[in-house]
């Protein structure tokens, strides 16, 4: 068994993502260090913008490097997270996209749909996303273009 990664990964969800979040935390607890940013109760309705923005804000401030967001479909969390400078949140529903999001886009937030994905597929996606590195090279200048756009928008 490999040693536990020292990287701290934030994870947050709304009430529709609690079940999947808890399953993923259990599956990966021995391999990765997670900061669970809530919510914790699937029976109490909460607003996804509150939970997505809490995680994205800390990332935009440089306090966290990567995060995972989960809501019913993943769409709402994706929209909110991508409002923050420096965030490259991707809604992923298959392993290939998880790999490409890291290799080509250096995606720093993985978004999952708690009502769309089963635990088996979600765990495969998370494992690939957490263990795939950014390829750099020809993809680096594209990220620099994204940064330039953000600098213009967030002066």
Catalytic residue numbers read 71, 104
What's the rounded Cα separation, in Å, for the pair 121 and 73?
Answer: 15
Closest to 3 (Cα-Cα) out of 37, 31, 38, 23? 31
Give the SS3 label for residue 67. Answer: strand
Q: What are the b/e assignments for 78-102, b being 16+ CB within 10 Å?
A: bebbbebeebbbbbbbeeebbbbbb
Please count the other Cβ atoms lying within 10 Å of the Cβ belonging to residue 33: 12
């Amino acid at each position: 068994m490999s040693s536990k990664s020292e990287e701290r990964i934030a994870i947050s969800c709304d009430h529709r993502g609690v079940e999947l979040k808890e399953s993923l935390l259990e599956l990966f607890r021995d391999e990765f260090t997670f900061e669970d940013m809530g919510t914790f109760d699937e029976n109490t309705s909460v607003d996804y913008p509150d939970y997505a923005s809490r995680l994205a804000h800390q990332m935009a401030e440089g306090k966290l490097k990567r995060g995972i967001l989960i809501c019913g479909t993943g769409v709402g969390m994706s929209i909110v997270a991508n409002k923050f400078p420096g965030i490259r949140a991707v809604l992923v529903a298959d392993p290939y996209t998880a790999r490409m999001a890291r290799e080509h886009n250096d995606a720093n937030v993985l978004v999952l749909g708690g009502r769309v994905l089963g635990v088996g597929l979600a765990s495969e996606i998370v494992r690939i996303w957490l263990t795939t590195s950014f390829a750099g090279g020809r993809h680096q200048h594209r990220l620099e273009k994204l940064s330039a756009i953000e600098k213009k928008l967030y002066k």
